[in-house]
Chains A and B, each alone.
Chain A
């Protein structure tokens, strides 16, 4: 924050954004912290009839019915387990609330715009369409995901067709 204060009219490179990092199949990803509502342990999910396997079902989030997507299943990762370490990240996607199951959540990382490079074409679990860039910080590489775009994409099918068109 000090950097921002020092240069009130500073260049875009000085603006620091925070990302929540999570792991998925050995890769480290980051989502904009402002999209994250909370992190919860994985508990009983009520399955939805006729839904694809990665659509785990719905949970009761303090009275609201929230769908849960398991990204590990979506991206066909091996070794999908549900135990006391399994976590879901509750995200605000547009006006919706969605739960996302990942391998693990690590920490919150600050990245200045200068730390972010455009993503080259490469083989990550997540399609490059949904990747906004690569962040580097202390020898770590983070794949930054446009979670809104990813979760609203047609292949996740979280949103009905009419709503998807409207959005």
Chain B
């Protein structure tokens, strides 16, 4: 290894380890103590094992030592010598948390706080020592240690060589452990003419004598355990009839299980994937954006050509147009991740929180394969976590209260993702008590929020919980109820261009619906002309546009202008004033009013003309310049010019504040 900088591989190791931890955690949560599924246990073991192996290879000895104990306990369970109890699973979950901390510290090259890890390490060891006695088959284990030998049946799959493993190496290493007798089974060997030299057709019966632990043998087969049928039995136990009884039945059973597991794996997504850094993908998206613009430019030029003369060229351009769109779709889709990436954290959140709150909760997730942009995924994780915690804390009642209300003692929390039009919809629904209208109104009164209790619709009342500092929790818990919540959720979702809706039925639970754009990189926009400049207004925020009559626009003393639109007076913002552009003297009624809405407040924007509707690629102004008030970004128009995208949320916020003042 000399001369190779191992650091290069560290990142891959950490990435894989964190993934392994996630797998472990998910599997642990799936594990049912009543009837532990062998394949799930194996999965957990394998994850721990590869972290240990990697940590050992890269010299993170504290991590590999720690994982070793974890692995030993898992191995006991896997081998059926220990039935995993709920307490064990909890311990293992905490152990995986501690392992995560160690890994994070190692990744950031900081000294780890070893205290929690050491505590759990001790707990694991205590658990292991205690394990020997209550194990499922203590006699066998004990016998094994005294038998002084093992009978090993090692039957590699035909594809063993393809993974770079050499059975001979394993046999040699076995020989190093003690005296071995090896008998080869060559029944499966085909005739020479039909022999495929790259497949393994042999299997071996090995008798190993000596004071060797089972772990030591398993260790040797660690790299091939997925690629062979391996049966390790204590020598004494296998000599009598049980050998015959035991050996054959497990084989078909485990083969079937394996086949099933393989199918499961295939169903989970074909497996063939590569890691690509997001920077590369973003660069690709930029380039494709350029291509789209160039293509639009060519198209524009081509309209001047005589179709009779330039027929072939025009055909080519039409084809180019199609291909560019497809390419753009394909490239954009590389940034899409299944929403499972965030949903997968919730089993753990719900498990921990329900335990802490003393509630019984069942989590159901639907539509995990729904895809959305990676950046959206990253940004909805926190708001979603908050909603889930809220539901658990305030929504779902205690088992006792539920029984009294005649409901299933176990509450249900469902997360549901789906596509609807150009949006993705995520629902967080619980079957708890629902929102309490009276309590919300009382709280709003306390907070000095003006509201008319009798005339407000339920929908308006529910909106109150989005007010900053609003919490109806009877008591503040460390879970939620500090009142810094729903308003932040709403703001975060809105900053992604999404919306939050609430539905609630007293006694039946509530549903929070989040509606998000598929991607942050593209927005449907309306281009409007203001003098010589073009601005883009995001289409989702536009309600309508109209040509105003002179009488509709009124000047209110000291407060600027308002527009009367169907008996509603809206603050009027002339965009050329707003952006301090040289105005063209013209009567207001020659212009166009665009009514926009943000945060349920409307404002009328005065522009010169509507130019057209198009999808625009959002570019950041901040990369090379700075944030500009009232502008959320820029885009490049078909003719190569830059157009600014108006930040409707900010304009509405400032305009309505000015109007209210």
Contacts and interface: CB of A to CB of B under 8 A. Distances in A.
Nearest to A99: B624
B624 A46 contact: no
Given A50-B579, A64-B619, A58 B634 contact: yes
A112 to B, nearest CB: 33
A5 interface: no
Interface string A36-79: 00000000101111110000011110111111000000000000
B625 interface: yes
Contact of A63 (B289, B578, B627): B289
Contacts of A49: 578-581, 628, 630-631, 644
A120 interface: no
B580 A65 contact: no
Contact of A65 (B293, B578, B634, B640): B634
Nearest to A51: B628
B579 A97 contact: no
B290 A63 contact: yes
Contacts of B628: 48-51
A149 interface: no
A26 interface: no
A65 B619 contact: yes
Nearest to B292: A63
A50 B629 CA distance: 8
B626 A160 contact: yes
A52 B286 CA distance: 30
A48 to B, nearest CB: 6
B643 A65 contact: no
B620 interface: yes
A130 to B, nearest CB: 20
B641 A65 contact: no
B625 A46 contact: no
Contacts of A158: 625-626
Contacts of B631: 48-49
Contacts of A97: 624
Contacts of A64: 286, 619, 623-624
Contacts of B621: 58, 65
A46 B627 contact: no
Contact of A67 (B625, B627, B641): B625
A98 interface: yes
Q: Which of A62, A157, A159 has the most B CB atoms < 10 Å from its CB?
A: A62
Contacts of A1: none
Contacts of A12: none
A17 interface: no
Contacts of A51: 628
A58 B631 CA distance: 13
B211 interface: no
A64 B623 CA distance: 9
Q: Which of A48, A65, A96, A97 has the most B CB atoms < 10 Å from its CB?
A: A65
Given A46-B642, A58-B621, A64-B619, A159 B290 contact: no
Contacts of A62: 290
A93 to B, nearest CB: 9
B580 A50 contact: yes
Contacts of B533: 46-47
Nearest to B534: A46
A166 interface: no
B609 interface: no
B180 interface: no
Interface residues of B, number: 30
Contact of B623 (A57, A60, A65, A157): A65
Contacts of A9: none
Contact of A159 (B626, B640, B644): B626
Nearest to A159: B626
A104 to B, nearest CB: 24
A163 interface: yes
A92 to B, nearest CB: 10
A98 B624 contact: yes
Contacts of A65: 619-621, 623-625, 634, 642
Q: Which of A44, A48, A157 has the most B CB atoms < 10 Å from its CB?
A: A48
Contact of B636 (A48, A60, A157): A60
A63 B636 contact: yes
A47 B579 CA distance: 10
A46 B289 CA distance: 19
B624 A66 contact: yes
A49 B640 CA distance: 20
A48 B627 CA distance: 11
A63 B290 CA distance: 6
Contacts of B619: 63-65
A59 B636 CA distance: 9
B625 A58 contact: yes
A64 B293 CA distance: 12
B622 interface: yes
Contacts of A48: 625, 628, 631, 644
B578 A60 contact: no
Nearest to A63: B290
Interface in A105-120: none
B579 A160 contact: no
A153 B620 CA distance: 22
B622 A160 contact: yes
B356 to A, nearest CB: 39
A59 to B, nearest CB: 6
Contact of A58 (B286, B289, B579, B642): B642
Interface in A82-141: 96-98
A96 B623 contact: yes
Contacts of B630: 49-50
Contacts of B640: 44, 60
13 contacts: A47-B533, A48-B631, A48-B644, A49-B579, A49-B628, A60-B642, A64-B286, A65-B623, A65-B625, A66-B624, A66-B625, A97-B624, A160-B627
| Ranked 8 nearest A-B pairs via Cβ | A49-B579, A160-B626, A46-B642, A67-B625, A63-B290, A96-B624, A65-B634, A60-B636
Interface of B: 286-287, 289-290, 293, 533, 578-581, 619-631, 634, 636, 640-644
Given A49-B628, A58-B621, 19 more contacts: A46-B533, A48-B628, A48-B631, A48-B644, A49-B631, A50-B580, A57-B642, A60-B641, A62-B290, A63-B286, A63-B287, A64-B619, A64-B623, A65-B624, A67-B625, A96-B623, A96-B624, A159-B626, A160-B627
